[in-house]
Amino acid sequence: MDTLKKNEEIARKFRAIETALISASSPSDLLETLVWQLGREFHIPYIWLTFIKREEENLLSCLELPDCLREQVGVLDAGAFDEILPQKKVPVLANENLRPFYRLFPERRKFFIKSVAVVPLSLQGEFQGSLNLGDASPERYSAGMDTSLLQQLGEKISERLEQMLQSRKEALSGAVTGFNCAGPGDGVSKLE
């Protein structure tokens, strides 16, 4: 298969994932669909999410994750993210000197991952965490590869999460700004 056909096939797979995300009904459904679709379309062996650890309410507390996703979600302090994703808007690919990324890796699979893609996720322009893709092959992801489709996917995920959380807040409080992570009957709070 020539390069043009490979690139077209990769772009088609990303479009399929983005289309599936549109039909998600909740933030947890969105993430579950994302993990499933990425695995199905690209045969990625390690897919997980990492969110910034914060004292105040954070994105993770808004997601109401099902048990099937809990092992695929972690938290990390903002300082560690500064070293891993210095720009906070552009994905990072690596297959050498993975030591800084170890803090992101799932605990039980840390030593199997030989290449990684880290895709930033944001809400209201503020960095919240990352979608992480790992492989045992060091050739899967490397620093010189194009990240534009991964960046676009990260932006679509962020946009969809933001829409869902905004809709939930509007339904619960009638307000039009900020995010409310509270469920029905809970107090109204803002995602910082």
- 94: domain CATH number is 3.30.450.40
Q: Is residue 183 part of a domain?
A: no
Q: How far apart are CA 137 and CA 187, in angstroms?
A: 47
Q: What digits encode the pLDDT tens for the residues 2-18?
A: 888 998 999 999 999 99
Listed ranges 33-42, 72-81, 170-179; the one with the highest mean pLDDT: 33-42
Q: What digits encode the pLDDT tens for the residues 22-46?
A: 999 988 899 999 999 999 999 999 9
Q: Is residue 53 part of a domain?
A: yes
Tokens representing 17? 């994932």
Q: How far apart are CA 80 and CA 182, in angstroms?
A: 28
Q: Is residue 67 part of a domain?
A: yes
46 phi, psi to nearest 5 deg? -125, 115
Range of the domain at 21: 3-166
Q: Is residue 188 part of a domain?
A: no
- pTM reported for the whole predicted model: 0.84
Q: Is residue 54 part of a domain?
A: yes
Looking at the structure of the chain, the number of domains it has is 1
Identify the pLDDT of residue 138.
96
